[in-house]
Amino acid sequence: MLTNVQARDLAAVVHPYTPLHKLKENGPLVLDHGKGVFVYDTQGREYIEGMAGLWCAGLGFGNEELVEAATEQMRKLPYYHLFGGKGMEPAIELAEKLKEIAPCPIDKVLFCSSGSEANDTQIKLAWYYNNALGRPQKKKIISRIKAYHGVTVMAASLTGLPNNHRDFDLPVASVRHTDCPQYYRFALDGESEDEFVVRLADNLRRMIEEEGPDTIAAMIAEPIMGAGGVVIPPESYFPAIQPILEEHDIMLIDDEVICGFGRTGNWFGATTMGMKPATLSVAKQMTAAYAPLGAVLLPKFMTDALESQSAKIGTFGHGYTYGGHPLGCAIGVKTLEIYERLDIVGRVRGMAPQFAAGIEAFADHPLVGNVRAKGLVGGIELVADKATKRSFAPAQGVGAKVARCGEEVGLIVRAIGDTVAVCPPMIISSQELEELFARLGKALDAAEAWVAAEGLRTP
């Protein structure tokens, strides 16, 4: 029986990334408040937020310092913009801090409202830059199978997931997708991890040569692929592909929307995974999710091109109404201050062994084919047959069943197909992490019992 608030929700709200045709069966989970790593629904039930919302609530819920920073800024200047040469102290201070902690030389910061907007902007600027250099043909973008870069028309095209393209008439023509660096799922029989990386690098080189390097502007990549199923590439992957990109004058765009701000045990995932990017996209944990904010971090050779094109055209014709919003920037400044005070990078490194052990403990579970973790982000891949790695049929919804079983025992995780993603707030304690895994174990056991009762392993 649906509650009144669930019925109102169903009557008024479209839910993203949701099987809309099934939502009426159980109704939405309507949340009311949160504190620390816990959130509570409208019935007062407690849940460990095992996904930090959507990979973003790095400081958990109810942080009074962030509330106070937001309140102070709202009273002082609740809104202004950066158009026409206007400026605001919070945007200046946050841009300065981002330049300071970036994993590569950054000259200036262009603010927007989300990760999708940041990645969309990256492509516009790559095109703009090549036009400034008199290379109008150098416009194609390489992404990867199972990548996730957002849902705007271009960002969704960069995304390498079929359901983000199907019936949306995507991807657009200028995007190419190369191999996914997931050894467990895509290695050939008998292929070592190093051989796997060599093959992927060879395939990338072949794609570039067949397309023509003078037609390719950039490659975009997440250090760890989040919404594609927590795909952690082999350590040798980025060092292998980087020289190929450099040889052909192809920029590497680093999508740090999920990996940035301590999640992987460094300020940025690029450092963790050995990337040497030209530009960065950031969002999510930049404000600990207390306000929407994204940004593109640009090197000097690109900002020089923006200025030269402005002289040619008469203006820089790009920007967002809420890009650099003073509320988001003030919260971002305070968030980075708290991260530094808590030594969030050191904290994640300290918790990482317990987190990895908790994830790895599920490797022997009957439902589980592969586990993977880095810092405080992990994935548990479910399979119908451990020996052959055979997946369940997508329509069976086994991953979604694990997520629902988690909610029944007070845990929120995310099913990405049949990979269960775990990404708790970075403030989680050792005891809370232990409880998270205990609840996840109960959810996996309940889902396994359901799979057996329904006979879902039958090919």
Residue 344 confidence (pLDDT): 98
160: in domain? yes
Task: Mark whether 8 and 117 lie in a shared domain.
Answer: no
Residue 41 confidence (pLDDT): 97
d(CA 340, CA 165): 39
Q: How far is CA 256 from CA 32, 88, 216, 233, 449, in A?
A: 29, 25, 22, 15, 38
Do 377 and 263 contact (CB within 8 A), yes or no?
Answer: yes
Q: How far is CA 272 from CA 59, 206, 295, 389, in A?
A: 21, 27, 21, 28
Task: Mark whether 28 and 106 lie in a shared domain.
Answer: no
Going through 14-134 in order, the beta strands assigned E by DSSP cover 31-35, 38-41, 46-49, 108-112
- CATH number of the domain residue 223 falls in: 3.40.640.10
Task: Mark whether 438 and 360 lie in a shared domain.
Answer: yes
Q: Which domain holds residue 429?
A: 4-62+343-454
Domain end (from 272, 307, 342)? 342
Q: Over 90: is that where the pLDDT of 57 sits?
A: yes
Q: Over 90: is that where the pLDDT of 236 sits?
A: yes
Beginning with the edge strand found earlier in the chain, give each strand of the sheet holding 411-412 in spatial order.
31-35, 38-41, 46-49, 411-412
pTM for the model: 0.96
Sign of the CA dihedral running 38, 42, 44, 47: negative
26: confidence class by pLDDT, cuts 50, 70, 90: confident
**Tokens coding 172:** 């657009």
Q: What is the pLDDT of residues 305-355, one digit of tens each?
A: 999 999 999 999 999 999 999 999 999 999 999 999 999 999 999 999 999
459: in domain? no
Task: Mark whether 273 and 305 lie in a shared domain.
Answer: yes
Burial of 131 (0-12, 13-18, 19+ CB in 10 A): middle
Do 295 and 109 contact (CB within 8 A), yes or no?
Answer: yes
Residue 271 confidence (pLDDT): 98
Do 245 and 140 contact (CB within 8 A), yes or no?
Answer: no
d(CA 254, CA 275): 8
Listed residue (247, 244, 275) closest to 178, CA to CA: 244
Do 383 and 418 contact (CB within 8 A), yes or no?
Answer: yes
Give the number of other Cβ atoms within 10 Å of residue 237's Cβ.
Answer: 22
d(CA 356, CA 378): 8
